[in-house]
Amino acid sequence: MSDRKKLLDEIRQLEFATVDLNLYLDNFPDNKRALSDYNMFTNQLMCLKSEYEDKFGILTNFGYSESQFPWTWINEPWPWESGE
């Protein structure tokens, strides 16, 4: 399994955890454990994304991440083609 796919799969799993926790927190904003778990995953996610984006191109545009040269946002394949 390539380095890229492995890294993206880790990002996918981490981000999924943050989405599910986010929805829980919307209904239970005072749950300390939920929030600390959310923050822990978010922290890890930010590191992994930074690593991924430097090597393979930005995952989010509109000012969320800086891009290498030349502009990496338009790199192919796009998610529906690669299935990633």
Partner 1 sequence: MKIVYSKFVPHVNSRFMPSPIFPTNSGKRLARAYIPMQPYIGLLPLNIALKKGTIFPNLVIPFPENED
Partner 2 sequence: MWIYEKKLQYPVKIKTKDIQMAKYLSAQYGGPDGELSAAVRYLNQRYTMPSGRTKGLLTDIGTEELAHVEIIASMIYQLLKDATIDELKKAGLASHYTQHGRAPFPQDANGVPWTSAYIQATGDPITDLHEDMAAEQKARTTYEHLITLTDDPDVIDVLKFLWAREIVHFQRFGEALVHVQDSMDTKRCF
Rounded to an integer, what distance in angstroms lies between the CA atom of residue 7 and that of residue 65?
17
Helix, strand, or coil (residue 63): coil
Minimum CB–partner distance for residue 71 and partner 2 (Å): 13
Q: What is the CA radius of gyration of the chain?
A: 15
Only one residue has tokens 């880790």, namely 10
12 binds partner 2 (CB under 8 A): yes
Residues that bind partner 1 (CB under 8 A): 12-14, 16-17, 20-21, 24, 28, 31, 33-34, 37
Residues that bind partner 2 (CB under 8 A): 8-9, 11-12, 15-16, 19-20, 22-24, 26-29, 57-62, 64, 73, 78-81, 83-84
